[in-house]
């Protein structure tokens, strides 16, 4: 006896693929993306083309969520593309593969952090106040965004044995150090600080200090709290930027800024 094949409903047809990784919630996007179906009874004309910047933004958002929840190794490009509302081809139209996508996620997070810190410093003219604001802002970011620290640590470990991953990570780290150097030069020019070394050297020290504090926070979150991270950063900035002793307040050494 021949049976007619069962016809799936639109809800069943559009359900998120599992790919062996259940439990991931996929955001729902309007049906203006490649591969999605129009609503039943709706227009059946051409689907509007999604602007390239919007495609990239969606892919980065979906990738950031997947990498944070699953880590690099267990993240699947098919799942990431589907979560963004596209097919996997959209990923390869914007990135060479998973390593470059991962590097873009890390880079976007670093840019966000840098812009946040610099925006907080714009209204602070004196050196002591600048050090306090910078230490407080960066410390809170290190403590509250442990996921990005974990991703950076995972990718750095992979880059140690993977040339392709290292090719992504190396220019990213260089750009971060260059941004730190520029910020030091800008702060020195605005506040009249007299740093104990050149901006490139101080930028390198602060870059490594932030990475180290992030790693310690991951390893021992109970002992490495926001007050301890803030005090470590304030102590280093005070010494490196040459803040005179008579300009320091009790908060510069207590960590309660």
Predicted pLDDT at 167 = 92
The dihedral built from the CA positions of residue 147, 150, 152 and 158, taken in this order, carries a sign that is negative
**Token duo for residue 87:** 């097919």
Same domain membership, residue 243 and residue 200: yes
- What does the alpha-carbon distance between residue 91 and residue 81 come to, in Å, rounded to a whole number? 7
Burial group, residue 210, by CB count within 10 angstroms (0-12, 13-18, 19+): buried
Asked whether residue 118 is domain-assigned, the answer is: yes
Is residue 136 a part of any domain in this protein? yes
Q: Above 60 in pLDDT, residue 189?
A: yes
- Which residue would you say has higher pLDDT here, 16 or 242? 242
Q: What average pLDDT does this structure show over 45-49?
A: 59
**Same domain for 239 and 119:** yes
Residue 248: band (very low, low, confident or very high) from pLDDT cuts 50, 70, 90: low
Q: Give the residue numbers spanning the domain of 80.
A: 28-35+43-94
Written as one string, the DSSP assignment of the chain is ---PPPPPPHHHHTSPP-TT-TTPPPPP--TTSTT--PPTTS--SPPPPPPHHHHHHHHHHHHHHHHHHHHHHH--HHHHHHHHTS-HHHHHHH-SSHHHHHHHHHHHHHHHHHHHHHHHHTT--SHHHHHHHHHHHHHHHHHH-HHHHHHHHHHHHHHTT-HHHHHHHHHHHHHHHHHHHHHHHHHHHHHT---SS-HHHHHHHHHHHHHHHHHHHHH-TTTS-HHHHHHHHHHHHHHHTT--GGG--THHHHS--
Q: What is the pLDDT of residues 206-247, one digit of tens each?
A: 999 999 999 999 999 999 999 999 999 999 999 999 987 666
CB 88 within 8 A of CB 77: yes
Residues in the chain: 257
pLDDT of residue 249: 52
Between 154 and 26, where is the model more confident? 154
Q: What is the CATH number of the domain that holds 188?
A: 1.10.357.10
According to the model, what pLDDT value does residue 114 have? 81
The CATH number of whichever domain residue 60 belongs to comes to 1.10.10.60
Q: Say if residues 151 and 72 touch (Cβ distance below 8 Å).
A: yes
pLDDT of residue 90: 94
Q: What is the pLDDT of residues 141-182, one digit of tens each?
A: 999 987 888 888 888 998 999 998 999 999 999 999 999 999
Stretch 197-213: mean pLDDT: 95
pLDDT for 32 = 38
State the Cα–Cα distance between residues 128 and 232, nearest whole angstrom: 15
Q: What is the pTM of this model?
A: 0.70
Above 90 in pLDDT, residue 54?
Answer: yes
Asked if 177 and 198 touch (Cβ cutoff 8 Å), the reply is: no
The verdict on residue 17 lying in a domain is: no
C-alpha atoms less than 13 angstroms from C-alpha of 15 in its C-beta half-sphere? 10
**Rounded to whole angstroms, how far apart are CA atoms 60 and 56?**
6
Number of domains comprising the chain: 2
In this structure, is the dihedral angle defined by the CA atoms of residues 249, 250, 255 and 257, taken in order, positive or negative? Answer: negative
Which range of 31-40, 93-102, 224-233 scores highest in mean pLDDT? It is 224-233
Q: Which residue has the higher pLDDT, 46 or 212?
A: 212
Contact 123, 169 (CB under 8 A): no
- pLDDT per position as a tens digit, 102-143: 989 888 877 777 888 888 888 788 999 999 999 999 999 999
194 and 210 assigned to the same domain: yes
Same domain, 85 and 108: no
Q: Is residue 15 part of a domain?
A: no
The pLDDT score that the predictor gives to residue 118 is: 83
């Amino acid at each position: 006896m021949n049976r007619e094949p069962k016809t799936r409903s639109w809800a069943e047809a559009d359900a998120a693929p599992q790919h062996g990784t259940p439990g991931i919630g996929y955001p729902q996007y309007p049906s203006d993306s490649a591969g999605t179906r129009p609503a039943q009874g709706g227009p059946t004309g051409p689907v509007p083309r999604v602007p390239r910047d919007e495609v990239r933004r969606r892919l980065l958002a979906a990738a950031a969520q997947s990498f944070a929840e699953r880590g690099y190794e267990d993240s699947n490009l098919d799942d990431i593309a589907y979560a963004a509302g596209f097919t996997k081809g959209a990923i390869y139209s914007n990135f060479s593969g998973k390593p470059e996508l991962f590097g873009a996620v890390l880079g976007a997070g670093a840019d966000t952090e840098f812009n946040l810190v610099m925006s907080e410093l714009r209204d602070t003219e004196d050196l002591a106040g600048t050090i306090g604001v910078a230490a407080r802002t960066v410390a809170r970011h290190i403590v509250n965004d442990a996921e990005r620290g974990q991703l950076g640590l995972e990718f750095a470990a992979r880059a140690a044995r993977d040339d392709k991953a290292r090719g992504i990570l190396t220019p990213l780290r260089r750009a971060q150090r260059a941004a730190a150097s520029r910020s030091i030069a800008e702060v020195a020019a605005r506040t009249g600080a007299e740093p104990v070394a050149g901006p490139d050297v101080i930028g390198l020290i602060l870059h490594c200090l932030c990475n180290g504090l992030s790693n310690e926070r991951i390893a021992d979150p109970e002992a490495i709290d926001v007050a301890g991270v803030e005090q470590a950063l304030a102590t280093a900035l005070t010494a490196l930027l040459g803040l005179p002793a008579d300009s320091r307040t009790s908060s510069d050494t207590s960590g309660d800024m």
